[in-house]
Each structure stands twice: as structure tokens, then as C-alpha cells.
Structure 1
Amino acid sequence: MFAVVKCQGHQYIIKPSAKITVNRLADKEGETIRLNDVLLFDDEKGETLVGTPILENVLVEAKVEKHYRGEKVRVFKMKPKKRYRLTQGFRAELTDLVIEKIEVNGKKTEDKKAVKKKEKADEEKGE
């Protein structure tokens, strides 16, 4: 099961309990946000919903995991024979999101693999 979500002008393919990196969001760490712009949804039964352009009945909830700065990118400009050299650095402000659930028509859908992992972890804690 997966969905295609639009967030800040970019499109992301997401699955339940997946982690995605987006440009910095104003929300605080630990908050739950809703991604309403779902463009496509496909479940494990083979049913595919395609939005025109957005699916109204599909909702994605994600948790803001952390804010951080990306790796530094160095930009170097040079004009030959003119002694012109310019070095610039850039670090992107990023946010990690963890997809908590995807709801279709108000019904929560869960990834089978994630459910099995959760059950296995619960069994190990119980022993």
C-alpha cells in the first residue's frame, strides 16, 4: 500500500511507518500534522484511487520527528584569466516526517509488514 502526497510543491511516495525528508516546516518536533493533498492511493487489494487533482476522502497523518540542517554544498564560480573566484556555501533546512497512518473514507489502513513487526515486538516484551 502506498500513496503519493504533495507537500510544499514536491511529490512524495509514502507508505505507513515510512520516513520522509521535506523542507523545513513551522511545526514543532513531536507534533502530528495532516497531509491533505493526496494525489494517488493504492492498497494491497489492487484498488487504485486517482485524484483529479486531489483525493478528498484520503487523509495522511505524519509526526514531525526532527528538524536539522543538511550537508553543506559548496558553490564555486570562476572566470578564467580574470582572477575572479567566488566560493559560496549552502545548507538546506530540513524536517524528517514519520508517516503514522493513512485513512480512506475514515477507515485506518495499516501496512501488513508493520503490523507483524509490532506484534513480534510485543511478544518479545511479554516474554
Structure 2
Amino acid sequence: MIYAIANIRGIQFKFIENKYLYIPFNCDMVLGTKVVFDQVLFFYKNGLVQIGSPFLETIQIKVEILKHVKGNKIIIFKKKRRKGYKVKRGFKPKFTKLKVMNFVEK
């Protein structure tokens, strides 16, 4: 099993080879393109562990952008007791679906 932990826009994600990953929506990513992430913090391959300080310079992650999707609805409900105040609002967060192609070792 090969996997890595990388930083994307300040959030850490676990990348597993040939698996799908949902990250928060990024309008800069064009569908069908291949992107390389180079801010890799941790890399595991066949029992060998590499830890960056802060990033690994020798590892890159190549992914393909598949589609932009909406997640499940999140409901925000506010209420104040005995005041007759109730507000119900909600939204669907947007995500970008990625497929991890491979890990590039320099």
C-alpha cells in the first residue's frame, strides 16, 4: 500500500493511489486536466516512511480532476426560547472530485 499526506490550501488530505478524493471546491481547477501537488508532508511505501520538514522535496502527487459536485445539504437552525424566533436556512457545499493517478519520486 502506498499513500501520502499532502497540504492543499492549508488543509491536509490523505492520498491513496488509484482512489478518489473530495476536496473543497476550487474554481481554478479545470475538468479533465492533470495537476501535480508538491507540498507532501508524509509518504509511506512498503513499510518505509518519509517525513518532511516541512515538505518532502523528492515526492510529488499527480491527480486528475474528474468533476465538481455538491455535497449533502447542511441545515442551520436558530431558535431563541420563548421569543417566537426561529430561522431555518441551509446550503449544499461544493467539492472537487479528484482521482490519484500516481506518486512521482525524483
TM-score using structure 1 length:
0.78
CA distance in 1, matches of 2:70, 2:9: 17
In 1: Cα distance, 2:80 partner to 2:24 partner: 33
1:27 corresponds in structure 2 to: 29
Q: Which has the larger radius of gyration?
A: 1
Taking the TM superposition and a 5 Å limit, the aligned residue runs for 1:1-127 are 1-25=2-26, 26-44=28-46, 46-105=47-106
Bigger relative contact order, structure 1 or 2, given CA contacts below 8 A and separation 6+? 2
Deviation of 1:81 after TM superposition, in Å, equals 0.6
CA distance, structure 2, for counterparts of residue 97 and residue 61 of structure 1: 10
RMSD of Structure 2 on Structure 1 (CA): 0.9
Percent identity over paired residues = 24
Q: Give the TM-score normalised by the residue count of structure 2.
A: 0.93
Code of the aligned partner of 2:89 = Q
Q: What amino acid does structure 2 have at the position aligned with 1:39?
A: L
Gaps of 5+ in 1: 106-127
Distance 2:44 2:29 in 1: 28
Q: Deviations over 1:46-75 (max 9, x none)?
A: 221100010011000100011011111111
Aligned-partner Cα distance in 2 for 1:60–1:14:
8
Q: Which residue of 2 aligns with 1:122?
A: none
Q: Which has the higher strand share?
A: 2
CA–CA separation in structure 2 for the residues paired with 1:8 and 1:18: 20
* Higher relative helix content: 1
- Distance in 2 between the 1:74 and 1:95 partners? 21
Count of residue correspondences: 104
